[in-house]
């Protein structure tokens, strides 16, 4: 199991919520979304697997898990361009990982909470 982002940040950053504005309320900071408040980029691995961000790409490639029951129980190749179309893969990602889901524990995707959580 990997270390959540908030545990590996310097203490100074933990104290000021990753240098985010005081009004920032999300439980996670997603570099793939929060830099522009839109999904502009995706990562495609050398094996043609598609990921919405670098954290999930690294997690899956290094640890062979998304740390998310829903994603880990999908077809082994559900996010692979050799088997599925990009639009279908992105649809699954976008339905599971939505910025509005980052506001409450009850809706926070497990993968986002385990990898990019800001608040304990």
* 55 C-beta neighbours (distance < 10 Å), count: 21
**Both tokens of residue 56?**
């999930």
The 8-class DSSP code of residue 43 comes to: E
Residue 34 dihedral angles phi and psi, to the nearest 5°: -70, -20
The per-residue pLDDT for 14 is 47
What does the pLDDT look like over 2-21, one tens digit per residue? 666 656 655 555 454 556 77
Distance between CA 72 and CA 68 in Å, rounded?
A: 6
Domain coordinates in residue numbering, the chain: 5-116
Over range 44-54, report the average pLDDT: 95
21 contacts: CB under 8 Å, gap ≥ 6:
none
């Amino acid at each position: 199991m990997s270390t959540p982002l908030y545990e590996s940040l310097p203490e100074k950053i933990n104290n000021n919520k990753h240098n985010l504005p005081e009004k920032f309320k999300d439980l996670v900071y997603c570099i793939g979304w929060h830099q522009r408040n839109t999904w502009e980029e995706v990562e495609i691995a050398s094996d043609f697997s598609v990921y919405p961000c670098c954290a999930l790409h690294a997690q899956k490639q290094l640890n062979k898990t998304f740390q998310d029951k829903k994603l880990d129980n999908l077809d082994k190749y559900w996010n692979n361009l050799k088997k599925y179309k990009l639009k279908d893969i992105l649809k699954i990602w976008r339905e599971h990982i939505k910025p509005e889901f980052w506001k409450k524990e009850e809706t926070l995707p497990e993968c986002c909470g385990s990898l990019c959580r800001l608040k304990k």
